[in-house]
Amino acid sequence: MSHDVHPTIEKYPAALRILHWVRALLILGLIAAGWTMTVLDDVVLAKFNLLYPLHKSFGVLVFLIVLAQLAIRARSRLPEPAPLPAQESLLSQAVHVAMYALLLIVPLMGYAMSSSYTDSDGVFFFGIHLPEILPKDDDRFKLFQFLHKTLAYSLLALVILHVAGALKHRYFDKDRRTNVLPRII
Ligand code: HEM
Ligand code: HEM
């Protein structure tokens, strides 16, 4: 009788694994850049010449990546859910859904903010001027700005929870079948 000492790990499809890590790097970079550019003094030339345009371009890129990822996900065979205790399984799924929602809403709020601000020079996607869909209105701009900021930092909180969960399953769970990290690497 043979024992399956190294059972084959059921992995996410390669495209989803690559996009997961590319998107993770972009999100952390966008949050770091967003925070830096808002605290930098206005006299620093790089603030409006470099950081704002790059933040907007990469922010739109993340939105497109998430759309692609959701489309690929809908057409793929995904690994069976890990055998987690019911409450942890619910929490992990809720965090995934909430992250996907914010991954779409945060860039949309960024776009709405940049588009509605009276003094904004619009949204450029690596040099391509995207259409301005919203009328200029500084009161709406303030609302979008508040939502963009609050939801971006809420996304960061969820990512921290998500990473803590992945590391807990990797290092602290007794049941080795709940180590989901190899599925996404
Ligand atoms: C900005 C950073 C990140 C975001 C937005 C993010 C988002 C997500 C999302 C939405 C999923 C669900 C995939 C699906 O079913 O479609 C997922 C899966 C996963 N992520 Fe992340 N992730 C990030 C960073 C990380 C990091 C740093 C780690 C590891 C330390 C990690 C570990 C995992 C694992 C292990 C899974 C698979 C979970 C499972 O199979 O049940 N993620 N991630
Ligand atoms: C997932 C994508 C994005 C993330 C995670 C993100 C994150 C952030 C963060 C953390 C800040 C700093 C907020 C503060 O501390 O006040 C910020 C600021 C900003 N973001 Fe984003 N952002 C994203 C996409 C976008 C997009 C697509 C645009 C525009 C097209 C955009 C435009 C801006 C602008 C203009 C600011 C500066 C706001 C101000 O001056 O008060 N962002 N972003």
Is 8 part of any domain? Answer: no
Which ligand has the minimum distance to the alpha carbon of residue 24? Answer: 1
Provide the CB-side half-sphere exposure for 178 (13 A, CA).
18
The CATH number assigned to the domain holding 149 equals 1.20.950
Is 2 part of any domain? Answer: no
How does pLDDT run across 71-122, given as a tens digit for each residue?
A: 999 999 999 999 999 999 999 999 999 999 999 999 999 999 999 999 987 8
Is 4 part of any domain? Answer: no
* pLDDT value, residue 8: 64
From residue 115, alpha-carbon distances to 107, 151, 155, 173, 184 in Å are 12, 18, 22, 47, 36
**CB-ligand 1 contact for 11 (6 Å cutoff):** no
Domain total in the chain: 1
Q: How far is the CA of 183 from the centre of ligand 2 (A)?
A: 31
How many other C-beta atoms can be found within 10 angstroms of the C-beta atom of residue 11?
Answer: 14
* pLDDT value, residue 7: 55
Is 171 part of any domain? Answer: yes
Q: How far is the CA of 78 from the centre of ligand 1 (A)?
A: 14
* pLDDT value, residue 176: 86
Phi then psi dihedrals of residue 124, to 5 deg: -105, 135
Q: How far is the CA of 146 from the centre of ligand 2 (A)?
A: 10
Residue of 20, 100, 104, 183 to mutate, ligand 1, most atoms within 8 A of C-beta:
20
Check if the beta carbon of residue 138 is closer than 8 Å to that of residue 117.
yes
How many other C-beta atoms can be found within 10 angstroms of the C-beta atom of residue 111?
Answer: 22
| Confidence band, pLDDT 50/70/90 cuts, at residue 132 | confident
Return the SS3 of 74.
helix
Is 3 part of any domain? Answer: no
Q: What mean pLDDT is reported for the chain?
A: 94
Which ligand has the minimum distance to the alpha carbon of residue 148? Answer: 2
Which ligand has the minimum distance to the alpha carbon of residue 179? Answer: 1
Q: Is the pTM higher than 0.85?
A: yes
Its domain, for residue 114, covers 14-184
* pLDDT value, residue 141: 97
* pLDDT value, residue 71: 98
| Confidence band, pLDDT 50/70/90 cuts, at residue 133 | confident
**CB-ligand 2 contact for 112 (6 Å cutoff):** no
Distance CA 99, CA 158 (A): 7
Check if the beta carbon of residue 144 is closer than 8 Å to that of residue 109.
yes
Distance CA 106, CA 148 (A): 5
Residue of 160, 162, 180 to mutate, ligand 1, most atoms within 8 A of C-beta:
162
Which ligand has the minimum distance to the alpha carbon of residue 125? Answer: 2
How does pLDDT run across 27-46, given as a tens digit for each residue?
A: 999 999 999 999 999 999 99
Average pLDDT over every residue of 38-63: 97
Is 102 part of any domain? Answer: yes
Closest CA relative to residue 165, chosen from 155, 151, 153, 180:
180
Is 1 part of any domain? Answer: no
> Within its chain, how far is the Cα of 82 from the centroid?
22
Is 60 part of any domain? Answer: yes
**CB-ligand 1 contact for 183 (6 Å cutoff):** yes
* pLDDT value, residue 122: 82
Closest CA relative to residue 106, chosen from 50, 163, 22, 23:
23
| Confidence band, pLDDT 50/70/90 cuts, at residue 182 | very high
* pLDDT value, residue 3: 47
Rounded to the nearest 5 percent, the helix, strand and coil shares of the chain are 70, 0, 30
